[in-house]
Amino acid sequence: MATRYLPLALKHSPTPSIEHFALLAGLDAAIRGVLISTMPLVVYDALKDAQTTSVVYFVSGIVALVWGLMVPWATRRVPRRWAYTGGVVLYLVGNALGAVGTGWSVPLALVCNAMATVTIFVCLNAYVLDYVDRANLGRSQSVQMAYAAAAWTLGPMAGVWLYHTWAPLPFVVAGGFALVLLVSFWVLRLGNGKQIARARRPAVNPLGYLGRFFSQPRLIAGWTFAVMRSCGWWVYVVYLPIFCIEAGLGDKVGGIALSITNALLFAAPALNRLGRRLSVRRSVRLAFGACGGLFVAAGLLAFLPWVTVGLIMSASVFLVMLDVVGGLPFLMSVKPSERTEMSAVYSSFRDVSGILTPGAAWAILLVAPLPGIFAAAGVGLLVSWGIAGRLHPRLGVQRPSRGGLGQGSSMMSNHAPCETSSRRGDAVERGAVAVTPSPSRG
């Protein structure tokens, strides 16, 4: 009876808005933005070898992949709010280990931060799918990118400067942002999200939902685009700074280049509108084709170090474009009852690229110098350009009869269109695994 006299805001959690999710994404970007250019330098300084650095990133990617696929299983037993909180705590542990800076603590810091990133990514995507309707998912994506733009622009350059000022300082700053993220999450009172009624059946095996993913070619193609986009960012973030050091350009060039590129995130809403005008197929093909060609050219012209840096920076412009439109082909196939599971499947693109990129780099460095990594990345991006040719021409094109994006059309040209807007229930509630741009970056 006493609760009847409480203010309404204290009895009911407010419905979160797109801006609330963008705030959380921006704070997460602040953590990772400070560390993204610092961690390759810290690992390289600790291990003194590009090949060994690749092995450490390879192991970190495997751990993060397995962990990410287990998050849906964990959230069936642990409330989502505590899973998200656990992800932030992993950030705190990882930054504490990074601040210690010993030979064994640096690889552990990398692993903890990777586990934290994937945990927060899966949980945040599940929250977005709960509270943002399908028509606003594209806007949610661009707003998140705009909120994260400052962090991704200033963070890489600031991280390198802080590292040279005092080695533990980047980790102290990132840990401070993690505390702010934790407080903000609890102030927003997101709880455990909306609960979807399920039929009574045995609990799904943590890997059982992969079968449903592999049975849908549209999801496979969209996930492949995300993997290759992320591989491009891995090469840019990890191997460009190492190339600059080995070419005698210094260890600050990589961080400055990344900061300059990330300033384009402020243009994310405009890029989103451009992608909708061109159609998703044209946008994705343009970005993959141009990015792949520039990476290949950078590998071939590595005897001119500044030209190589310029070419890779130019390629990163199209990586930003892929951050905006490259996730759209994954839209429209997720049932409400599978939101968390498919969020985990989609989030695995970062971990798979975190395994594929350093693993391929390790093999390439056995037979070729470091610029061979740039050329190999370019070839992979061009393969994605070829796959994108099978996207449906009308995907993402505004159609008057639907009053919005033509996302209901089939993604692959040999598939029939999806359910019409008159079908409600699961078909209407099907959303996207919300694609946040920044997580692909290291």
Cα first-last separation, the chain? 52
Query: What domains, with CATH codes, occur in the chain?
Result: 15-193+207-440 (1.20.1250.20)
Question: Rounded to the nearest 5°, which phi and psi values hold at 192?
Answer: -110, 15
Question: Rounded to the nearest 5°, which phi and psi values hold at 166?
Answer: -160, 120
User: What gap in Å lies between CA 182 and CA 26, rounded to an integer?
Assistant: 13
* Res 77: pLDDT: 85
Residue segments in the chain with a per-residue pLDDT below the cut of 50 = 1-3, 5-12, 196-203, 401-439
Q: 421, 428 in Cβ contact below 8 A?
A: yes
Structure tokens at 105: 């603590």
* Res 145: pLDDT: 80
Nearest to 354 by CA among 441, 261, 438: 441
User: Distance between alpha carbon 32 and the CA centroid of its chain, in Å?
Assistant: 11
Q: pTM for this one? A: 0.70
Q: 29, 151 in Cβ contact below 8 A?
A: yes
User: What gap in Å lies between CA 431 and CA 76, rounded to an integer?
Assistant: 21
Nearest to 242 by CA among 420, 42, 405: 42
Residue 235 neighbours by CB distance under 10 Å: 29
* Res 315: pLDDT: 94
In tens, the pLDDT along 379-395 reads 999 999 998 888 766 66
3-state secondary structure of 43: helix
DSSP string, 153-204: HHHHHHHHHHHHH-TTHHHHHHHHHHHHHHHHHHHHT-TT-PPPP--S-PPP
Nearest to 243 by CA among 257, 231, 264, 229: 257
* Res 11: pLDDT: 44
* Res 333: pLDDT: 52
* Res 414: pLDDT: 38
* Res 384: pLDDT: 93
Residue carrying structure tokens 């993913």: 213
* Res 194: pLDDT: 59
